[in-house]
Structure 1
């Protein structure tokens, strides 16, 4: 929990404790403050309506952003990244990935899966070998650069679950000479299912490797730059053509989405065995996700700020008008012995009740509207760099979203009532009686 959230929680807790204390020991003040909301129904309704409108906007946009983050996160994790990755410690320091492989992959995989505190959290563990080369379709006289990825067929069903097969099928667990191509690369080569292609690479020793491969399937990830060069083939075949038994990275898909805790355990395991490896969480290697998250979070913060300012001005204006219209009432109460502190408390409680009513209304109306929207969804255009759109929904089960929808109206209404409450308690009795 961040310091800002903790600070806000403390303030809200103090406000609620103040209301609870008034209910227990100053119930008459609580009753008068609540009933005062109904004295000027039109003004109270317009103020609460403004709060509800702002709160609903925050709830709906926040739910939309939460769903967008979730779908982008799942797409990122399940497009051959996983929750946690293991790399050679030199992987990010050199452009020649062939010189920074994880050796003895099979033994390392077995050691991790035999460690109980790690194995209990792992859903899928897989190695991948990255390499590049040239692939040709001689019958069509076409060729292209490709970015190859050697993968294990069974784990790839989970780690590549967001890749859509548009022709053929996934990699076989039996046939080692079959591949799948990105849709853009297949179009460049003018190739289709069951065609034979020839791939040439430079292996890790600097020699040349070549292999004839059969197209088993064509997939689309939705990311154009990736689909234009991507080729997947069985890991054993990739290791054979590259002349190694190592992998470029190891990907781990977790049962529960707690990558930070698992990464910490994995780092301890690596340090204990003194392996020359490093651990990265999915977010660290996903620059696109970080950029989108930063952009949408900034927009969301700006919307919350605008709504908060509108609510503050609306409530301040409404309560100031209340004070002007109730000047005789206030000064009469003061004249018969009501202390300034009690007057302040009455108006302060009014502001809190306006905020609580607005918060409950915001959440209730927001859930109703979100339920209607979620019946059909929102058709979204493709994100930057992608080729396919998606259907967005409003995510309503986020504790953080519910929390901000309830807390923001209460905080802003309470803050907006402070100055009017103090102004009411400081009215000069003799001058106020001359008010007409």
Structure 2
């Protein structure tokens, strides 16, 4: 938990304890402070409306950000990355990926699935073989560079579920010597369903491998750079053309989002069997997601800061005006024996009540507006580096989002009431009676 969240939790706990103490031991003060909100209805309404406007903005934008994170995360995980990956320990230390393969993949897969603590969390486990080369079409006299993935056809349905099939079929229905291409690469080759293509590679032994394969599908992931070079091929065929029975990495898709706990258990399994492997989670290998998350989180923090400052100024101004207009009332209370701390408590309670009403209103109206928006969604242009737009929605099931929408108005209202409350308690009785 970050320091910011700790301070937020401590602040709201102190405020709630203060209100609870007042309800139990100073119930008249609570009643008096609440009724004072209705003495200047227009001012109270404008202050609460300002708080609600800020709270609704935070709720809607936060829900939009949460949905954006969720869809980007799902797209990342299901575009041949998975929740967890296993690599050879030298994979990230060399540019020649053919020298850092995972040997004896079949035995390792069987051992992992036979481990009860690991198997119960796994939805899909699949090996992939990465390789590059040149692909050409004889009839149209075209050729291009490709970056291929040898994948197991059935697991590819889940691990590549965000790939949009444009023509033909996916890998689950292809034969050994058939392939699918990214839309950009297919366009470069002027290749269509049923065309024969020639693939030339440098295999793991440093020799040449060549094979003619038939195009059975064209897909689009929405990531232009990927679609321009992408080729998917059955793992058995990829291993044959590359002259190996190894894989470049093993991808694991989990049943539930417990990536950190599962990764720890998998590392323990690897250490127990003294395997030369390392474990990475999806976020570690997705630089684009990390960059987008950092950018949007920074923008969201800036918006919360602006809203907090607006609320503080609005409430401070409103409470200061209350102090000025109620100078005679405050000094009369002081004259009959009311202590400064008592006066401070009354004004603090007023500010807190304004914040509570504003917070509850923010959440209620925020849900209503989000429900209307979610009926149609928000048409979004393609993200940087992508070719397809998407429809965004407001995600409202986040506990953190609901919490901050409730807590932020209360904290800012309480904080903004401190100075006016202290000013009211320090009024000079004899001077204040001269106020007109």
Once residues 257 and 315 of structure 2 are traced to their aligned partners in structure 1, the CA distance between those partners, rounded to angstroms, is 42
Once residues 167 and 180 of structure 1 are traced to their aligned partners in structure 2, the CA distance between those partners, rounded to angstroms, is 10
CA displacement at 1:11 relative to structure 2: 1.4
Identify the residue that residue 99 of structure 2 maps to in structure 1: 99
Identify the residue that residue 262 of structure 1 maps to in structure 2: 262
Is the 1:224–1:385 contact (alpha carbons within 8 Å) kept by the matching residues of 2? yes
CA displacement at 1:8 relative to structure 2: 1.3
Once residues 129 and 431 of structure 2 are traced to their aligned partners in structure 1, the CA distance between those partners, rounded to angstroms, is 85
Is the 1:168–1:218 contact (alpha carbons within 8 Å) kept by the matching residues of 2? yes
| Structure 1 position 110 matched with structure 2 position 110 | yes
* Structure 2: gaps of 5 or more residues: none
Q: Give the SS at the match of 1:374.
A: helix
String of CA shifts for 1:374-414, please: whole Å, max 9, x gaps.
Answer: 00000000000000000000000100000000000000000
Once residues 340 and 327 of structure 2 are traced to their aligned partners in structure 1, the CA distance between those partners, rounded to angstroms, is 14
Once residues 246 and 420 of structure 2 are traced to their aligned partners in structure 1, the CA distance between those partners, rounded to angstroms, is 71
CA displacement at 1:3 relative to structure 2: 3.2
Once residues 406 and 391 of structure 1 are traced to their aligned partners in structure 2, the CA distance between those partners, rounded to angstroms, is 28
Identify the residue that residue 351 of structure 2 maps to in structure 1: 351
TM-score w.r.t. length of structure 2: 0.99
CA displacement at 1:172 relative to structure 2: 3.8
Once residues 336 and 145 of structure 2 are traced to their aligned partners in structure 1, the CA distance between those partners, rounded to angstroms, is 90
Identify the residue that residue 389 of structure 2 maps to in structure 1: 389
String of CA shifts for 1:322-378, please: whole Å, max 9, x gaps.
Answer: 000000000000000011111000000001001100100000010000000000000
Q: Give the SS at the match of 1:252.
A: strand
CA displacement at 1:5 relative to structure 2: 1.3
Once residues 430 and 6 of structure 2 are traced to their aligned partners in structure 1, the CA distance between those partners, rounded to angstroms, is 45
Once residues 428 and 191 of structure 1 are traced to their aligned partners in structure 2, the CA distance between those partners, rounded to angstroms, is 89
CA displacement at 1:6 relative to structure 2: 2.3
String of CA shifts for 1:34-71, please: whole Å, max 9, x gaps.
Answer: 00000000000000000000000000000000000000
Is the 1:172–1:178 contact (alpha carbons within 8 Å) kept by the matching residues of 2? no
Using a 3 Å threshold, how does the CA distance of structure 1 residues 351 and 38 change in structure 2: closer, same or farther? same
Q: How does 1:40-55 map to 2 (within 5 A)?
A: 40-55=40-55
What is the total number of aligned residue pairs between the two structures?
436
| Structure 1 position 181 matched with structure 2 position 181 | yes
| Structure 1 position 77 matched with structure 2 position 88 | no
Once residues 353 and 36 of structure 1 are traced to their aligned partners in structure 2, the CA distance between those partners, rounded to angstroms, is 10
Is the 1:178–1:214 contact (alpha carbons within 8 Å) kept by the matching residues of 2? yes
TM-score w.r.t. length of structure 1: 0.99
Once residues 382 and 245 of structure 2 are traced to their aligned partners in structure 1, the CA distance between those partners, rounded to angstroms, is 39
Identify the residue that residue 301 of structure 1 maps to in structure 2: 301
Once residues 343 and 160 of structure 2 are traced to their aligned partners in structure 1, the CA distance between those partners, rounded to angstroms, is 65
| Structure 1 position 316 matched with structure 2 position 327 | no
Once residues 62 and 38 of structure 1 are traced to their aligned partners in structure 2, the CA distance between those partners, rounded to angstroms, is 32
Identify the residue that residue 232 of structure 1 maps to in structure 2: 232
String of CA shifts for 1:45-102, please: whole Å, max 9, x gaps.
Answer: 0000000000000000000000000000000000000000000000000000000000
Moved over 3 A (4+): none
Identify the residue that residue 135 of structure 2 maps to in structure 1: 135
Once residues 73 and 149 of structure 1 are traced to their aligned partners in structure 2, the CA distance between those partners, rounded to angstroms, is 21
CA displacement at 1:186 relative to structure 2: 0.2
Q: Give the SS at the match of 1:318.
A: helix
Is the 1:86–1:280 contact (alpha carbons within 8 Å) kept by the matching residues of 2? yes
CA displacement at 1:174 relative to structure 2: 6.2
Once residues 42 and 109 of structure 1 are traced to their aligned partners in structure 2, the CA distance between those partners, rounded to angstroms, is 69
String of CA shifts for 1:135-177, please: whole Å, max 9, x gaps.
Answer: 0100010011100100000000000000000000001456100
Once residues 92 and 173 of structure 2 are traced to their aligned partners in structure 1, the CA distance between those partners, rounded to angstroms, is 31
| Structure 1 position 334 matched with structure 2 position 323 | no
String of CA shifts for 1:155-204, please: whole Å, max 9, x gaps.
Answer: 00000000000000001456100100000000000010111100000001
Q: Give the SS at the match of 1:283.
A: coil
String of CA shifts for 1:260-302, please: whole Å, max 9, x gaps.
Answer: 1111111111111110000001000000000100110000000
